[in-house]
Amino acid sequence: MSEKTSGERAEAAACDLLRDCGYEIVARNWRTRRGEIDIVARDGPVLAMVEVKARSGQAYGRPEEAVDRAKQRRIVAATRAFLAATGCSLAVRFDVVTFLDGAPRLFRDAFQAGDECSHDS
Amino acid sequence: MGIDALRIEVQCDVSGGLPLFHVVGLPEKEVSESRERIRSAIKNSGLQFPAGRITANLAPADVRKEGVGFDLPIAVAILVASGQIPPLDEDLCLVGELALDGEVRGVRGVLPIAAEAASAGMIVPLANAVEAAVGSQGPVYPVRSLDEARRFLCREIEIAPFAVDCDELMRECTEDIRHDMAEVRGQMQAKRAIEVAAAGGHNLLMIGPPGSGKSLMARCLPEILPPMSFDEALEVTRIYSIAGLLDGPSLVGRRPFRAPHQTISYAGMVGGGHGVPGPGEISLAHHGVLFLDELPEFDRRVLETLRQPLEDRTVLLSRAGVSVRYPSSFTLIAAMNPCPCGYLGDALKPCVCSLVDVRRYRKRLSGPFLDRIDLFVEVPRLSVEDLFHARPADGSDAIRRRVSDARRRQWDRLASEQDCHSNAQLDGEALERHCPLEEDASLLLQRAVARFALSARAHVRILRVARTIADLDGTDDLSAAHVAEAIRYRTAGESLGEH
């Protein structure tokens, strides 16, 4: 196995976590010029766009706090591109998976498109 | 709008795509903000907030929506749209604010909404249950939380319709007398004027030095008025419900007594405020008494705005996009000192004001405003005898009986007149018809008009007041004594008009 960054390791762990939760992984690291989606997964009738954040220690705040408004905007932009590219018309939800010192946590419906104040941003 | 509610239909659509939650249909800020409360409340009630694009529409879409009462209906609409609640009866009415944990909180203005609710019933916050039951024709289902509402609508639980005994409520809020006329020492003439004001719905101005009992007598007035009918109480309660002043008892059964401070703004007096204008003091005093102490200290502009409501007994507030009408049928009782220091004309204490001061003080009241006052009475300082050896006077109970009798005579006589329920509202031809003067009374009136150079309007006021005095006396014809008393109430105010 080749050398992996902590981010890639976290994303792989997140995929395992999501599968355990009944998600079906559709795509990973879906990129456009404007932003990136870490994991695209089916959760029943809903398409979940999952952002993964890992942190060791809270010296710079909790990992979920790092998904701030700018980050949310990038994810939303990428999602628009994804929906346009795939022609998918499913209901979309934004989830966040965090690892704090390796401990995972899944935030379902973490934020909404065009939200200004929800989530800890 | 105003004291009438407008049915708003809440529609909700959930579709695929990016998760977005819109509320459309001219929502004000607090309605738009409801999105965050609704989302949290649904999640924290253990329910699913649906993914995808959600649009909630408040129809008709061209009326501005304000207030937090839309939280519960929008949340329920979302739950229906996402299949968590079966489709509802379209006539069911819901109102309530949501807390983040899913608790349903009480809101303002439930009574008018209840009056508009169809027989299909309504779901209201527990805190508003009594209020809703008073006004509603259909069953009222109180709920504590969003989940309780959901389980009720899914027929998982039963909620017993909330019922109140309106007669019992009325009895509760009219029982004790708080201020008794018997407590006021002396001042027989002023008390009589108050009684006349109560009997005919006349506006009254008391002029006298500080500490002569003006405020206390004014406070007694609501209690000597005949008790409100249930319909009147309901109308007053509506206004208090809209103003959010309905804490404790859910029915205002006692005639209101409003005594705003002299610094009151024009919006506070006639109504106004952000968004849809709310009721002001003149509407909160509906069917009751508006007491303006230290009348000349009020902003003149504020007093001038009273002129139209005093005439029309209703006030129309127009703002960009909305205009609302509130009833404002009140009896105005005003009090003032004779001069800035308060002792002009006092037998013992010298007045220290210059003539210019006095003139300036009185000039703050405009002629047109004073024209709307029927009764003027001087309230002199109490003498030592009055203070310490007061003869026992009639209590509020006895006075109220006399007032009620006089009012009944008026109602019987005015039953055929339109929009005229008291002598104070008599006008024009009807006034002539209902005030048959005895011969010497007519003569006396003519002489008084000539001697005091009374205007036509003053003449009308005297007739109205004389009519009420005769009603208190229990006679149909106006005698010289009735007219003489009415003239006395007029001439006390004539000096105010001379600027």
Q: Which residue of A has its CA nearest to B53?
A: A91
| Residue of higher predicted confidence among B90 and B407 | B407
Residues of chain A scoring pLDDT < 70: 1-4, 115-121
CA atoms of A40 and A25, how far apart (whole Å): 6
Give the pLDDT band (50/70/90) at residue B335: very high
CA atoms of B300 and B296, how far apart (whole Å): 8
Could you tell me which residues come within 8 angstroms of residue A35 by beta carbon, excluding any fewer than 6 positions away? Answer: A73, A74, A75, A76, A77, A78
| pLDDT at residue B110 greater than cutoff 70 | yes
SS3 B317: strand
pLDDT, tens digit, for every residue of B464-493? 999 999 999 988 888 889 999 999 888 877
Hey, is the C-beta of B49 within 8 angstroms of any chain A C-beta?
yes
Cβ atoms of residues A60 and A102 within 8 Å: no
- The tokens for B484 are 């003489």
B188 and B159 in a common domain: no
pLDDT, tens digit, for every residue of B16-55? 878 888 888 888 887 888 888 998 999 899 998 888 889 9
Give the pLDDT band (50/70/90) at residue B3: low
Q: Which residue of B has its CA nearest to A84?
A: B17
Could you tell me which residues come within 8 angstroms of residue B403 by beta carbon, excluding any fewer than 6 positions away? Answer: B195, B198, B199, B224, B225, B226, B472
Which residue in A46, A83, A112 is closest to B21 by CB distance? A112
Cβ-defined contact of A79 to B21 (cutoff 8 Å): no
Asked if the structure places residue B220 within a domain, the reply is: yes
Hey, is the C-beta of B21 within 8 angstroms of any chain A C-beta?
yes
Cβ-defined contact of B53 to A79 (cutoff 8 Å): no
Asked if the structure places residue A118 within a domain, the reply is: no
CA atoms of B387 and B85, how far apart (whole Å): 71
Cβ atoms of residues B99 and B105 within 8 Å: yes
Q: What is the pLDDT of residue B415?
A: 82
Average pLDDT over residues B320-340: 88
| Residue of higher predicted confidence among B134 and B261 | B261
Q: What is the pLDDT of residue A3?
A: 59
Q: What domain count does chain B have? A: 2
**Nearest C-alpha neighbor of B469 from the set B428, B439, B497, B441:** B441
B94 and B50 in a common domain: yes
Segments forming the whole domain that contains residue A58: 6-111
Q: Which of B131, B164, B197 finishes a domain? A: B164
Whether the model pTM is above 0.90:
no
Asked if the structure places residue A117 within a domain, the reply is: no
B240 and B97 in a common domain: no
CA atoms of B66 and B32, how far apart (whole Å): 9
Asked if the structure places residue B453 within a domain, the reply is: no
| pLDDT at residue B245 greater than cutoff 70 | yes
Give the pLDDT band (50/70/90) at residue B248: low
Contacts with A92 from chain B: Cβ below 8 Å: 16-19, 51-52
Q: What is the pLDDT of residue B62?
A: 80
**Nearest C-alpha neighbor of B379 from the set B223, B180, B204, B176:** B204
Give the pLDDT band (50/70/90) at residue B74: very high
Q: Determine the length of chain A.
A: 121
Q: What is the pLDDT of residue B498?
A: 45
Cβ-defined contact of B51 to A117 (cutoff 8 Å): no
Q: Tokens 């049928």 correspond to what residue?
A: B329
Hey, is the C-beta of B248 within 8 angstroms of any chain A C-beta?
no
B394 and B353 in a common domain: yes
Asked if the structure places residue B202 within a domain, the reply is: yes
| pLDDT at residue B269 greater than cutoff 80 | yes
Asked if the structure places residue A22 within a domain, the reply is: yes
CA atoms of B80 and B94, how far apart (whole Å): 14
Beta strands in B106-174 (DSSP E): 122-125, 140-143
B215 and B265 in a common domain: yes
Could you tell me which residues come within 8 angstroms of residue B55 by beta carbon, excluding any fewer than 6 positions away? Answer: B12, B13, B15, B22, B24
Contacts with A94 from chain B: Cβ below 8 Å: 19
Beta strands in chain A (DSSP E): 24-31, 36-43, 46-55, 91-100, 103-111
Cβ-defined contact of B17 to A94 (cutoff 8 Å): no
Hey, is the C-beta of A118 within 8 angstroms of any chain B C-beta?
yes
**Mean pLDDT across chain A:** 85
Segments forming the whole domain that contains residue B365: 181-419
Cβ-defined contact of B18 to A79 (cutoff 8 Å): yes
How far A32 CA lies from chain B's nearest CA (Å)? 17
Contacts with B53 from chain A: Cβ below 8 Å: 91
Cis peptide before B60 (omega within 30 of 0): yes
According to DSSP, the residues that pair with A36 across neighbouring strands are A31
Q: Which of B398, B419, B440 finishes a domain? A: B419
Q: What is the pLDDT of residue B176?
A: 64
Asked if the structure places residue B463 within a domain, the reply is: no
- The tokens for B35 are 């999105």
Amino acid letter, residue B1: M
Q: What is the pLDDT of residue B496?
A: 67
Average pLDDT over residues B92-108: 92
Q: What is the DSSP string of B374-443?
A: -EEEE-PPPPHHHHHSPPP---HHHHHHHHHHHHHHHHHHHTTSTT--SGGG--HHHHHHH-PBPHHHHH
Hey, is the C-beta of A117 within 8 angstroms of any chain B C-beta?
yes
Element at B257 (helix H, strand E): strand B257-258
B256 and B148 in a common domain: no
How far A64 CA lies from chain B's nearest CA (Å)? 18
Cβ-defined contact of A112 to B17 (cutoff 8 Å): no
Average pLDDT over residues B145-152: 94
Q: Which of B384, B399, B419 finishes a domain? A: B419
B128 and B195 in a common domain: no
| Residue of higher predicted confidence among B342 and B281 | B281
**Mean pLDDT across chain B:** 86
SS3 A26: strand
B212 and B149 in a common domain: no
How far B14 CA lies from chain A's nearest CA (Å)? 9
| Residue of higher predicted confidence among B64 and A43 | A43
State the alpha helices, DSSP H only, in B173-320. 188-200, 214-224, 230-243, 266-270, 281-284, 300-305, 307-312
Contacts with B18 from chain A: Cβ below 8 Å: 76, 79-80, 83, 92, 113
CA atoms of A21 and A46, how far apart (whole Å): 14
B211 and B131 in a common domain: no
Q: What domain count does chain A have? A: 1
Q: What is the pLDDT of residue B42?
A: 93
- The tokens for A20 are 């355990």
Exposed/middle/buried for B348, CB within 10 Å: 0-12, 13-18, 19+?
exposed
Which candidate in A83, A92, A94, A116 is best for mutational testing of the B interface (most B CBs within 10 A)? A92
Q: What is the pLDDT of residue B334?
A: 94
Asked if the structure places residue B79 within a domain, the reply is: yes
Which candidate in B14, B15, B18, B22 is best for mutational testing of the A interface (most A CBs within 10 A)? B18
- The tokens for B174 are 């009219």
Task: List the CATH number of the domain containing A33.
Answer: 3.40.1350.10
Q: Determine the length of chain B.
A: 499
Asked if the structure places residue A116 within a domain, the reply is: no
| Residue of higher predicted confidence among B64 and B243 | B243
| pLDDT at residue B340 greater than cutoff 90 | no
pLDDT, tens digit, for every residue of B378-428? 888 877 777 777 677 788 888 888 999 999 988 888 888 777 778 888 887
Hey, is the C-beta of B372 within 8 angstroms of any chain A C-beta?
no
Asked if the structure places residue B481 within a domain, the reply is: no
Q: Compute how many other C-beta atoms are within 10 angstroms of the C-beta atom of residue B388.
A: 9
Cβ-defined contact of A46 to B18 (cutoff 8 Å): no
How far B86 CA lies from chain A's nearest CA (Å)? 20
Q: Which residue of B has its CA nearest to A76?
A: B18
B195 and B334 in a common domain: yes
Q: Which residue of B has its CA nearest to A110?
A: B19
Asked if the structure places residue A1 within a domain, the reply is: no
Task: List the CATH number of the domain containing B147.
Answer: 3.30.230.10
State the alpha helices, DSSP H only, in B62-145. 71-81, 110-116, 129-135
Q: What is the pLDDT of residue B390?
A: 66
**What b/e sequence results for B376-385 when a residue is b if at least 16 CB atoms lie within 10 Å of its CB, and e otherwise?**
bbbbbbbeee
CA quadruple B151, B154, B159, B165: dihedral sign: positive
Q: Compute how many other C-beta atoms are within 10 angstroms of the C-beta atom of residue B263.
A: 10
Contacts with B50 from chain A: Cβ below 8 Å: 91
B363 and B293 in a common domain: yes
* Angle, vertex CA B8, rays to CA B2 and CA B11, nearest 5: 160
What is the percentage of chain B residues whose pLDDT exceeds 90?
27
B215 and B70 in a common domain: no
Contacts with B41 from chain A: Cβ below 8 Å: none
SS3 B15: strand
Cβ-defined contact of B52 to A117 (cutoff 8 Å): no
Asked if the structure places residue B125 within a domain, the reply is: yes
Asked if the structure places residue B299 within a domain, the reply is: yes
Cβ atoms of residues B221 and B194 within 8 Å: yes
According to DSSP, the residues that pair with B12 across neighbouring strands are B56
Which residue in A80, A89, A112 is closest to B19 by CB distance? A112
According to DSSP, the residues that pair with B23 across neighbouring strands are B56
Winning range, highest mean pLDDT, from B22-26, B73-77, B187-191: B73-77
CA atoms of B366 and B377, how far apart (whole Å): 18
Asked if the structure places residue A120 within a domain, the reply is: no
Cβ-defined contact of B19 to A83 (cutoff 8 Å): no
Task: List the CATH number of the domain containing B279.
Answer: 3.40.50.300
CA quadruple A33, A36, A42, A46: dihedral sign: negative
